[in-house]
Amino acid sequence: MTNLLITGGAGFIGSHTALVLLEAGHRLVVLDSYANSSPEALRRVAELAGPGAAARLQLIEGDIRSEHDLERAFAACSALGGKPADAVIHFAGLKAVGESVAEPLRYWDVNLSGSRQLVGAMQAHGCRTLVFSSSATLYGYPETVPIPETATIAPINPYGHSKAAVEQLLADMAASEPGWRIARLRYFNPVGAHPSGRIGEDPCGIPNNLFPFVSQVAVGRREQLQIFGGDWPTPDGSGVRDYIHVMDLAEGHRAALDVLLAEGPQLLTLNLGSGQGHSVLEVAAAFEAASGRPVPLKIVERRPGDAAITVADPSQAAQRLGWRTSRGLADMCRDGWAWQSANPDGYEA
């Protein structure tokens, strides 16, 4: 049984991954400030994980930028498992592209300074195994699609710049002393929810991302989906993305952790995506089919900073982790709808 520290574990991806890791028998300490999440998510995770799981899950409310809060989290790890943390999975961060343009300092502070503080605490506690939430946003406007990990890193917004900086920091750490086991996982477009509909994505305010927006239209919280551009060089003119079911993504984290713990020190850099592209129009139609509700839509101007098509080349993850996605667009819509219809106002309802 391993002792894991999960930063940002109450969030969308963190909560689903926490469930998969509890089900795999690990002990977890979650450090989260609830800046963009609710403790209710983890209460439900413990409930889904079944009898006895709650005793293997401890929550620490705190900030990754605070040395004091990190100390509390590492101390909780030792207390929970009788030994120091074996690994850290680092989800905590800010992720809204538009907000990062308006507030770059906050993004550099939370994403870069927070990660720097965390890595320092790991070093102080002799923990050198880390799985980091990176993003396909690093590729900016990709030169080739599907996108391999060797593609040029060229982010086009402060959020992306902060992720690129953390990736570089982790590469520098891995080169600085032997022993580091680091996975930098570049997610494409995570969507959907646990099939129970008990946990899911609960964005604050108007969703920036397509999937939560579509599901809020289907449930009647918003009137209409605006499609950002109908003249992209794609088969139906709307933008194409690589959507990945959040449960596939959660299982990808478990696979990456298993590889890091089983193998020697290394720096793994992997795309986590399906390798399949779907257009905005396809997503809207699939969501209508899954929900039985109409998704009224209107084509409007392109959104600044969008690329026509981003799709992962996921072959490295398959080779190194023995992991690949198993859920398709219909599953993402079915499970996303199970969450949205049972929790129309999210966790705080």
Residues recognised as catalytic: 159
Site residues for ligand NAD, 143-182, by CB under 6 A, read: none
- Take residue 156 and report the two structure tokens written for it: 């086009």
Q: Which of 5, 328, 41, 62 is nearest to 191 (CA)?
A: 328
Residue window 240-269: x/- pattern of binding to ligand NAD, with contact defined by CB under 6 A: ------------------------------
* CA 324 centroid distance within chain: 16
Residue window 204-243: x/- pattern of binding to ligand WQD, with contact defined by CB under 6 A: ----xxx--x-----------xxxx----------x-x--
Q: How far apart are CA 337 and CA 211, in angstroms?
A: 10
Contact between 333 and ligand WQD by CB under 6 A: the answer reads no
Amino acid at 66: S
CB of 207 to ligand NAD, least distance (A): 11
**For residue 281, with 0-12 CB atoms within 10 Å meaning exposed, 13-18 middle and 19 or more buried, which class applies?**
buried
Binding test (CB under 6 A) with ligand WQD, winner from 103, 303, 320, 347: 303
Binding test (CB under 6 A) with ligand NAD, winner from 81, 114, 160, 239: 114
Contact between 320 and ligand NAD by CB under 6 A: the answer reads no
Under 8 Å between Cβ of 226 and 300: yes
Site residues for ligand WQD, 14-53, by CB under 6 A, read: none
The CA–CA distances, whole Å, from 178 to 123, 124, 129, 261, 267 equal 12, 15, 12, 15, 11
Contact between 347 and ligand NAD by CB under 6 A: the answer reads no
H helix or E strand, kind and range, residue 227: strand 225-228
Q: How far apart are CA 279 and CA 236, in angstroms?
A: 7
- Take residue 26 and report the two structure tokens written for it: 């690990």
Residue nearer to ligand WQD on the CB measure, 9 or 158: 158
* CA 132 centroid distance within chain: 10
Which residue is at the shortest CB distance from ligand WQD?
Answer: 239
Site residues for ligand WQD per CB under 6 A: 95, 97, 135, 137, 189, 208-210, 213, 225-228, 239, 241, 280, 303, 306
Site residues for ligand NAD per CB under 6 A: 7-8, 10-14, 32-37, 63-65, 91-95, 110, 114, 133, 135, 187, 189-190
